[in-house]
Amino acid sequence: MRAARFYAPGKPLALEEIPAVAPGAGEACVEIKGCGICGTDLHIALEGSIQLPKTPITLGHEAAGVVAEIGPGVDGWKRGDRVAIFPNVACGACYACREGREVLCLGAQVLGVNRDGAFADSITLPATCLLPLPEAVPFTVGAIAADAVSTAYRAVVHRGALRSRESVAVFGCGGLGIHGIKVARLLGASRIIAVDVAPGALRRAREAGATETVDAREGDVAKRIRSLTAGEGVDLALEFVGLKASVTEALRSLKRGGRCVVAGVGPDRVELPPLRSFVGSELSLLASMGFTREDVKTVMGLAASGRLDLASSVTDVIPLAQINEGFRRAFAKEGDPIRIVVVP
């Protein structure tokens, strides 16, 4: 089978013929029908800001496809089943797994990070990673439902606990933020203020349902969010950037009793406001990491019923042979892509 192999940061992925892996006990082999290019892939392959434990490795962790082969002892799946792939292979034994929080698993292996991913003709992995992909959801949408959409879904719904008629500010309108906006709109947010530094991203944010936009290059973001909310600030600020500056502004844009959820990851150290205002205003600062299997199922159900439009999130579809060009375009934000999906 063909696979896009990563050797070192800055080097193009090598499209190689490697042997397909026959599924062992409890495993399935999935023929890949779509795999999204995520920011994480760009951090690994182009920036080198995420280092991998072993190389070469096949990248790609946002995938959907069709069950091609099943190993011994796998129940509930058959050849030809449409599936989306849960990208964390959890140990199933640690306290996080026992509590149903597999994404926090102490021994998790992530596709395209710790083990071979899905920029390939097929992938072999534990059948516990398979999720049913509804007939009404195209493979390209199923591919991005896990990760790009579900990460935002968890941040808004579970960690942010957004209620209808609350006001929201979304910091960062890339692949995660755009879906944060779509989910906030679905939940009935009264107003959704989108913040970014790229005019293209802000335009896309309005298309996704943002009621107002703030260009962060124009200075004092929190002040402008306050002026848009009659001086009050927002109930919920969602940070999808992963920078100290945007976490600071997100906290400053909250009303009394407001919550700030950070889903952006990076090396920055952040500072709390002075305790007299942090405690005095009873603010919450929460982190949101990944998503659960249930989150992905819910997102796919919302997509299948048409309540969540994700077709518009697939900016482009490219063949595996053009993956390096796809990485370049995603990295340069050429044409402001939300997700470019690779179809082998």
Within 8 A by CB and 6+ apart from 83, the residues are 30, 64, 65, 66, 67, 77, 130, 131, 132, 133, 142
Nearer to Zn ion, 90 or 145 (CB): 90
SS3 category, 254: strand
Minimum distance from residue 99 beta carbon to Zn ion (Å): 10
Nearer to Zn ion, 70 or 152 (CB): 152
Catalytic residue annotation: 40, 43
Nearer to Zn ion, 25 or 91 (CB): 91
Nearer to Zn ion, 18 or 94 (CB): 94
Of 313, 248, 262, which is closest to residue 156 (Cα–Cα)? 262
CB 62 within 8 A of CB 25: no
Minimum distance from residue 112 beta carbon to Zn ion (Å): 8
Minimum distance from residue 128 beta carbon to Zn ion (Å): 12
Distance CA 275, CA 73 (A): 55
Nearer to Zn ion, 40 or 248 (CB): 40
List residues near Zn ion by CB under 5 A.
38, 40, 90-91, 94, 97, 105, 147
Q: How many CB atoms neighbour CB 15 within 10 A?
A: 16
Of 26, 85, 82, which is closest to residue 60 (Cα–Cα)? 85
Element containing residue 249 per DSSP (H, E):
helix 244-252
Nearer to Zn ion, 60 or 233 (CB): 60
Minimum distance from residue 44 beta carbon to Zn ion (Å): 10
Q: How far is CA 307 from CA 140, 186, 191, 201, 304, in A?
A: 17, 7, 19, 23, 8
Distance CA 255, CA 235 (A): 6
Distance CA 10, CA 216 (A): 30
Of 222, 239, 225, which is closest to residue 170 (Cα–Cα)? 239
Distance CA 287, CA 263 (A): 6
Minimum distance from residue 71 beta carbon to Zn ion (Å): 21
Q: How many CB atoms neighbour CB 294 within 10 A?
A: 13
Minimum distance from residue 183 beta carbon to Zn ion (Å): 17
